[in-house]
Amino acid sequence: MSGELVLVTGGSGFLGAHCILELLNAGYRVRTTVRSAKREADVLAMLKAGGSEPGAALSFAVADLMADTGWPDAVAGCDYVLHVASPFPPGVPKHQDDLIIPAREGALRVLRAARDARVKRVVLTSSFAAIGYGKLPPGGQPFTEESWTDPTAKVSAYVKSKTLAERAAWDFIAAEGGKPELAVVNPVGIFGPVLGPDHSTSTEFVQRMLNGAMPGLPRLSFGVVDVRDVADLHVRAMTNPAARGKRFLAVAGDFMTVREIAQTLKTRLGDAGARVSTRELPDWLVRIVGLFNPEVAQLVPELGKVKNATKARAVRLLSWAPRSREDALVATGESLIRLGLLKKSK
């Protein structure tokens, strides 16, 4: 409904900024949290890059996931909350609690504030990480929203943090009698138009490929989805009665191998894709590198695994219609080129 107020946590992030754009385009008023008032200018610059100068339709609140301060003011008067903010570091944390505690406690902090402010519904950004790790479905079936990652399995700190944070959120809502209402979006790898130099781990992956910084590719596969479609799904889940109490996988289509992603970029981006390598590395070499590189070590358990996930629930209940995987990847590359974020060719 036009004019209702929505809180978006983490508005300076890749997905957070796109959620703000989606809400503004739909006629909502938006308040967004930043950890420091210094980031307000960054958010406004990203929105301008996305074609919006919101003026009075956007306001800011300073709040941190690790502190109670600021959250009551942030949610005051809000009809809905999109809790998008969550840590996703570029490297491996020194201790898994560096990720788990902010993710879990941050989600609970936002939910408590939303409960106290009588918010109608919270949409939590979780991840495929909370669905698709530890055990494959039987018979090669795709992962669905009924699937849960086993946090006791050998999984990365990030995967564990997203799983435990989402579990904690559902447990909180159950204990509170279902108020506020909760819906959860579980995206796969998020790509699409970058709005500024501070973008995401997924888009940095494309940036590295286009810069020629990945001379060899591991035998991995993962899902692809456009950030604009993930933002659209958040807004649909925010108001549709059918979304109450449900999770929604955000995936554009079948999972792609890293080599297929590289080939798409190389084929579709012309000269800008000239430095993209399509050479696949043998598993044994990746395992050896993993002995010395913690980031590569996290990939080793996933080598050669064939995974898939279905968007059927989001399509059926929320009439969600995402862009193609290829278009999401190309949009990432085109935006990196447009913003001058690629190394210049010699």
Q: Which of 110, 120, 145, 111 is nearest to 130 (CA)?
A: 145
pLDDT at res. 2: 63
C-beta contacts of 130-139 below 8 A and 24+ residues apart: 130/159, 130/162, 130/163, 130/165, 130/166, 130/167, 130/186, 131/186, 131/247, 131/249, 131/309, 132/307, 132/309, 133/159, 133/163, 136/305, 136/307
pLDDT at 198: 79
Angstrom CA distances, 49 to 21, 193, 267, stand at 10, 10, 26
Alpha helices in 196-311 (DSSP H): 201-210, 227-239, 258-268, 283-290, 294-297
Enumerate the active-site residues.
162
In which residue are the tokens 């290829």 written?
326
Going by C-beta distance under 8 Å and a sequence separation of 6 or more, which residues neighbour residue 338? none
Q: For the chain, which residues make up each domain, given as ranges?
A: 5-195+224-253+308-323
Query: In this predicted structure, what is the pLDDT of residue 323?
Result: 98
The per-residue pLDDT for 200 is 86
Tell me the β-bridge partners of 59.
31
**Per-residue pLDDT tens for 128-164?**
999 999 788 888 899 999 999 999 988 888 999 999 9
pLDDT at 339: 94
Q: Do 155 and 298 touch, CB atoms closer than 8 A?
A: no
**Does the domain made of 5-195+224-253+308-323 have the CATH classification 3.40.50.720?**
yes
Q: What is the C-alpha end-to-end distance of the chain, expressed in Å? A: 52
What is the structure's pLDDT at 104? 96
DSSP state of 143: B
pLDDT of residue 130: 98
Enumerate residue ranges in the chain where pLDDT < 50: 1
What's the pLDDT at 86? 79
* Residue 63: per-residue pLDDT: 96
